[in-house]
Amino acid sequence: MLQIDKPAQSVAEPASAADVASPAELYAAYIAFVRRQFPVLVFVMLLVLALAAVYLLTAQSRYTGEAVLVIDTHRLNLFQQQTPLGVDVPVDTAIIDSQVEILKSENIALSVIKDLHLIDDPEFTGPSTGLVGVILDFFVNLYSSLFGQGDPNSEFARTRKALERFEKRLTIKRVGLTYVIDIDFESVSARRAAEIANAVADAYVVDALEAKYQATKRAAIWLQDRLKELRAQATAADRAVVDFKARNNIVDTGGRLLNEQQLAELNSALVMARAQTAETQAKLNRVQDILQAENRNQSFDQTATVTDTLHDDVITRLRQQYLDLSARESDWSARYGRGHLAAVNLRNQMQEIRKSIDDELRRIAQTYKSDYEIAKSREEAVQKGLDDIVAQSKDTNQAQITLHELDSTAQSYRALADNFLQQYMMSVQQQSLPVTESRLITQATPPIRTSHPKVLLVLAIAVAGGLFLSVGIGMLRDFSDRVFRTSSQIAAHLATDCIAVLPFVRGTNGWRADPSATVDDSLPPRTILRCEGLMWHTIDSPFSRFTEAIRSIKVAADLYAVSKPNKVLAVTSSLPNEGKSTVAMALAHLIAQGGSRSILVDADLRNPSLSRKLAPAADRGLLDLISAKAALEDVVWSDPLSNLHFLPAAVETRLAQASEVLGSTATRRLFEHLREAFEYVIVDLSPLAPVVDVRATAHLIDSYVFVVEWGRTKIDVVQHALGAATGVYDNMLGVVLNKADIRVLSRYESYRSGYYYNRYYSRYGYTE
């Protein structure tokens, strides 16, 4: 990068990173960008709009049929079991999105293609229409022919082609967060578009029904096989229960085990036997008490005796007789006295009856005793049977634990078998019940307006895309435009002044010789050859913009001479063909035409282009003066019209030591002589970048005019060239922008837009 050691220039310092551009600055920068890249912006925008117009004119019009499908889960609630607590489980987003993907699947597409015979429809298997389609078909067919993709007319190839076009024209989307799915299909025919949209919905419903049927069928087959296994397992479990009962003598009667029933019955019988024993024992004790009282000649209550034996007919009859006799005895004793014979006889009869009652009581007592013995024996037998059953129940209870496990296993298998049987019956019913959760809520009808191409949308996209693309290309050109185009770039990148902007003069840039000048024998010898080109433009067009720009170089040189001597001016550039020789010739012509004694020296010893053009016949020149082989007046050529003197190089062969020649003492003495003989010495030097000759002239030259070709010379090249030649840079008069297109330059510097075109400037005679 160029190191700046010169005094501060009138160049604004760059803004720091902390500075923020004002809106006015941003607006100015935007306007400047638009002005610079205006042709590119307009061209790209028009190109994109032209492409959009071509597309709209060549694109085939298509219609869109729209069918609307809804995933309705409530239709299945009539045939399915209700969820717990009566809550319906909603269909989540993933399920709806899955249904959308199913609608986009190849199965649905192939089903519609097959049902509607789309492989026979030219719209799906014929050649593409429209410019874009024709181009794509061309490349596809070329690829198929080069890489052998099979027979394009086969049924498989036509099906795949129809499938590809079908999928491109089918649009499936979910409407918001609802359960509604929108089915759109584009076709060149309105009727065909509606027909295919409805066919897609129907194919989806049929596919869903078929999927349900196949799923329930597979479930029914699996349930049937599983049901057989469960039934076999339940039967084996029941058989194991029966076998275990038989091995352990466990008998079940009415839901209770036999030993349990026997234990309950024996327990009841024991209670009854004990009650009967107690009853018979009480009766026996009562009779024995009566008999014992009689044996001890104790009185006893005949009524009580008879009461205990009311059920005995003999005692009842004897008691009645006894009571009759007792009544009569009382009557007679009262009437005749107790000693009366009749009363005594009655009392004897009563004694006999009482004896008979006693005998009957003893017989009854024996009966009670026998009953008591029998009841006691029965109680003991029942007690013994109960004890045996209790002992047997202990073993049965131990076996019953295992029995319960076997019975629980058998019940589980039976419950599973019943459950699978129920599910099997439901699956069989669902196979014959064609119900799906989707239904068509809006059937597609033939549309009345085309949906493709969308003119407004295409134009809007074209405008937006063209604007974006044009701005992007313009910014890319701006970023990649690393050449000099404005005087502000000279000041910013080189820290020096742009002393002139030379316009590009069309039609006069050649080195064409004037035939009349070559044959004019009246001219003196060593006369400069007149050519049709910019070298003579300052003389031919003194009021042109080019000549005015050359005058600005002359003015800059004169102002520079105020501070230090500036008689020897060298013109150089960074690269060849930038116009340094033309600038040197034009400047020398202008100075000579102004009446100053001046000489133009061709010091480009590597490529003396000025010598070949102005003095092609010169056989002596600069090298002869340096080597003292000729005098100045013998080698100098002149122009009688402008009184310009020219010192050619006259190099016959390439000179390898040109830098040493220019840096020699003899060359310095020659230039001192030229300073004394002429007011201005204009030197045409070689370029800086290819050779080092210019660096050897720092002791000869007062100031350098550096020529930069407008819009072509790279900034990095100039910076590198001047950075390597500090002697040239330190003594540089300024930079000349050459070959500038003023009309294009006006887009980079706004004040140039009216330069030499304004009517105020035309008053002074300035012309093109």
Query: pLDDT per residue over 308-326, tens digit each?
Result: 554 667 778 877 888 888 8
Query: Does the CA dihedral 339-345-347-352 come out positive or negative?
Result: positive
Helix (H, G, I), strand (E, B) or coil at 64: strand
Q: What is the pLDDT of residues 590-640, one digit of tens each?
A: 999 888 899 999 999 888 988 888 888 888 888 889 888 888 888 999 888
Q: What is the pLDDT of residues 659-710, one digit of tens each?
A: 888 889 999 999 999 999 999 999 999 999 888 889 999 889 999 999 999 9
| Cβ count near 193 (within 10 Å) | 25
Domain ranges of the chain: 21-53, 59-207+437-442, 256-400, 541-734
**Which segments of the chain have a pLDDT < 50?**
1-18, 76-89, 299-307, 310, 509-519, 756
At residue 463, the pLDDT reads 92
> What's the DSSP call for residue 679?
S
pLDDT at res. 523? 67
* pLDDT at site 4: 41
CA distance 59 to 480: 37
Contact 496, 732 (CB under 8 A): yes
CATH architecture under which domain 541-734 falls: 3-Layer(aba) Sandwich (3.40)
Q: Give pLDDT, residue 7.
A: 45
Q: In this predicted structure, what is the pLDDT of residue 532? A: 60
117: Cβ–Cβ under 8 A, 6 or more apart, which residues?
A: none
Q: Please give the Cα distance from 530 to 260 (Å, whole number).
A: 150
pLDDT attached to residue 129: 63
Gap between the Cα atoms of 563 and 741, Å rounded: 34
Residue with tokens 């709009």: 49
- pLDDT value for 591: 92
The HSE-up count of residue 565 (CA atoms within 13 Å, CB side) is 12
Helices (H), 19-121: 23-36, 38-58, 93-104, 106-116
Q: Tell whether pTM > 0.75.
A: no
What are 105's strand-pairing partners? none
Q: Using an 8 Å Cβ cutoff, are 602 and 608 in contact?
A: yes
